[in-house]
Amino acid sequence: MTLVLGAIADDFTGATDLANNLVRAGMRCVQVLGVPDASVEPSDVDAVVVALKSRSTPAKEAVVESLSALEWLQAHGARQIFFKYCSTFDSTEAGNIGPVADALLERLASGQTVMVPAFPVNGRTVYQGHLFVGDRLLNESGMEHHPLNPMTDADLVRFLGHQTPHPVGLASRHVLSQGAGATRGHLDALAERGVRHVICDTLDEQDLDVLAEAVVDTPLVTGGSGLGQALPEQYRRRGWLEPVADPGRLARATGSALVLSGSCSRATLSQVKHFLEHHPGISLDPLALAEGDEHLAQAQAFAREHLAAGGPVLVYASADPERVKAAQAALGVARAGELVEHAMGQLASRLVAEGVGRLVVAGGETSGAVVSALRVRELRIGGQIDPGVPWTQSPMIDRDGVLSLALKSGNFGAEDFFIRAFEVLDALSAGESRA
Ligand SMILES: Nc1ncnc2c1ncn2[C@@H]1O[C@H](COP(=O)(O)OP(=O)(O)OP(=O)(O)O)[C@@H](O)[C@H]1O
Ligand SMILES: O=C(O)[C@@H](O)C(=O)CO
């Protein structure tokens, strides 16, 4: 089977976000977790999104994994490659976006790629190369407190310049406003001057359409999921896609309802607060996790009791910046994160074994830890809960039935997300397959 699009996502929620937009724009798409074996054949799909957990790993590891994903996607004929990173450009100065993009370009023998992080429906826009979250610059949006990759510079041309030895350029709104032809011409002119990475301004969906038309024939595109919502129309115009009746249909969801939250992003903190006003929840503290198994056992017992009473129930490590900093000062940044992620993975596998069948996970790294612990290999994408977050399903590993999973990016979703997600799932599995 020849793929139209092969995507490599640097975290699991980001992969789901992109897959969601591709499905909503009419592509048949599957999300695989990790690089599949060479023998795995994608069938009846136009796109595969390979979800990696490479956002916060050392750059060399991220490059090796991304190239291995590329090899698999190329072996299945992908016409275009999409490197998906966060709409808030999450990475450290020594981080992975530049090195991975450079390595992919080299392997694809291509001289240039666009960088389009914007996702306007979720308030991520780029103007004069500066990334905004709503009406705030990235570095004043709360992202400056991110536990793993605090974002302290909104100027993406400058920031990416720290991550690549190659020149970084800009396609400004002024250029985009002249249409796809002018934008293509601008990119070509930059390429002639050796500009390898082009940060693209994007204010709205129309800008995404212009960009998609300008780059549909380039071997590599990079960005957030916004570009993924615009590319399928360009593929259709080229006759590469068949019409699909309902690419987001899900099976009936069963089992009890659990929320695991390891995200400390602003949106998640308000979702945790809102959930706790209506349903039971228990917090996990990395300092207590470091002392032994007792703390995790208590959380598990609490969740089990409330799941038996009907659920939904929440287990959360989500904490405000001061508490996160205190844990990191005592344990180190990596160790604090690992303790929480390990605990979330353990809870997920134990509680799913006991009957949880509907699971919401908040946070990309947290989602990576949870789906790895659950040994989930592939996700079918269903209807959307909020922009960027669909319900997905995977076969249960050790028994019959399906596990319904919603992997929520830290800053996505309305305040009532953790509660409404289960209502949306009920509606989806009652036969209304699109939210
Ligand atoms: N109380 C805490 N103290 C220190 N670290 C924590 C705490 N709670 C969670 N963490 C860690 O913070 C990190 C949060 O990253 P994660 O990717 O899960 O969320 P996010 O960044 O909000 O989501 P996304 O990447 O989807 O935007 C994880 O490594 C998690 O283990
Ligand atoms: O692009 C986004 O904001 C999300 O899909 C994401 O990557 C968060 O982890």
Same domain, 85 and 152: yes
Q: Which residue ranges have their beta carbon within 6 Å of ligand 1?
A: 11, 13, 146-148, 262-265, 268, 286, 317-319, 323-324, 327-328, 336-337, 340-341, 363-366, 409-411
- 328 Cα nearest atom in ligand 1: 4
3-state class of 121 per DSSP? helix
Let me know if residue 246 belongs to a domain: no
pLDDT score of 432:
46
Of 190, 210, 237, which residue is a domain's last?
237
| Ligand minimally distant from the alpha carbon of residue 361 | 1
Contact between residue 152 and residue 139 where contact means Cβ atoms under 8 Å apart: yes
Same domain, 140 and 275: no
Tokens encoding 385: 């809960």
Let me know if residue 91 belongs to a domain: yes
Atom 8 in ligand 1: which residue has the minimum CA distance?
A: 317
- The pTM assigned to this predicted structure is 0.92
Same domain, 175 and 279: no
pLDDT score of 2:
85
| Ligand minimally distant from the alpha carbon of residue 268 | 1
364 lines ligand 2 (CB under 6 A): yes
Same domain, 190 and 285: no
**Which domain CATH number covers 61?**
3.40.50.10840
Same domain, 214 and 286: no
Of 188, 206, 237, which residue is a domain's last?
237
How many angstroms separate the CA atoms of 325 and 390, rounded?
A: 31
Same domain, 302 and 228: no
Same domain, 179 and 269: no
pLDDT score of 310:
85
- 85 Cα nearest atom in ligand 2: 7
Same domain, 362 and 404: yes
Question: Using CB atoms within 10 A of its CB, is residue 292 exposed (0-12), middle (13-18) or buried (19+)?
Answer: exposed
Q: Which domain holds residue 364?
A: 256-429
pLDDT score of 433:
42
Q: How far is the CA of 155 from the centre of ligand 2 (A)?
A: 19
**Which domain CATH number covers 262?**
3.40.980.20
Let me know if residue 322 belongs to a domain: yes
- 339 Cα nearest atom in ligand 1: 31
Same domain, 223 and 300: no
Let me know if residue 434 belongs to a domain: no
Q: Does an H or E element contain 172, and which?
A: none
Distances (CA, A) of 288 to 293, 331, 343, 350: 9, 11, 11, 20
Per-residue pLDDT of the chain (435 residues; tens, 9 = 90+): 689 999 999 999 999 999 999 999 999 999 999 999 888 888 889 999 999 999 989 999 999 999 999 999 999 999 999 999 999 999 988 889 999 999 999 999 999 999 999 999 999 999 999 999 999 999 999 999 988 889 999 999 999 999 999 999 999 999 999 999 999 999 999 999 999 999 999 999 999 999 999 999 999 999 999 999 999 999 999 999 988 877 667 889 999 999 999 999 999 999 999 999 999 999 999 999 999 999 999 999 999 999 999 889 999 999 999 999 999 999 999 999 999 999 999 999 999 999 999 999 999 999 999 999 999 999 989 999 999 999 999 998 878 889 999 999 999 999 999 999 999 998 887 664 443
Q: How far is the CA of 268 from the centre of ligand 2 (A)?
A: 13
Let me know if residue 244 belongs to a domain: no
Q: What is the CA radius of gyration of the chain?
A: 21
13 lines ligand 2 (CB under 6 A): yes
Please state the domain count of the chain. 2
Let me know if residue 210 belongs to a domain: yes
Of 187, 208, 237, which residue is a domain's last?
237
Same domain, 310 and 219: no
Per-position DSSP letters for 335-363, written without gaps between them = HHHHHHHHHHHHHHHHHHHTTEEEEEEES
| Ligand minimally distant from the alpha carbon of residue 362 | 1
How many angstroms separate the CA atoms of 364 and 146, rounded?
A: 12
Tokens encoding 259: 């929320």
Same domain, 215 and 332: no
3-state class of 40 per DSSP? coil
Let me know if residue 170 belongs to a domain: yes
pLDDT tens, residue by residue, 105-150? 999 999 999 999 999 999 999 999 999 999 999 999 999 998 888 9
Let me know if residue 251 belongs to a domain: no
**Cβ neighbours of 217 (radius 10 Å):** 11
Same domain, 315 and 379: yes
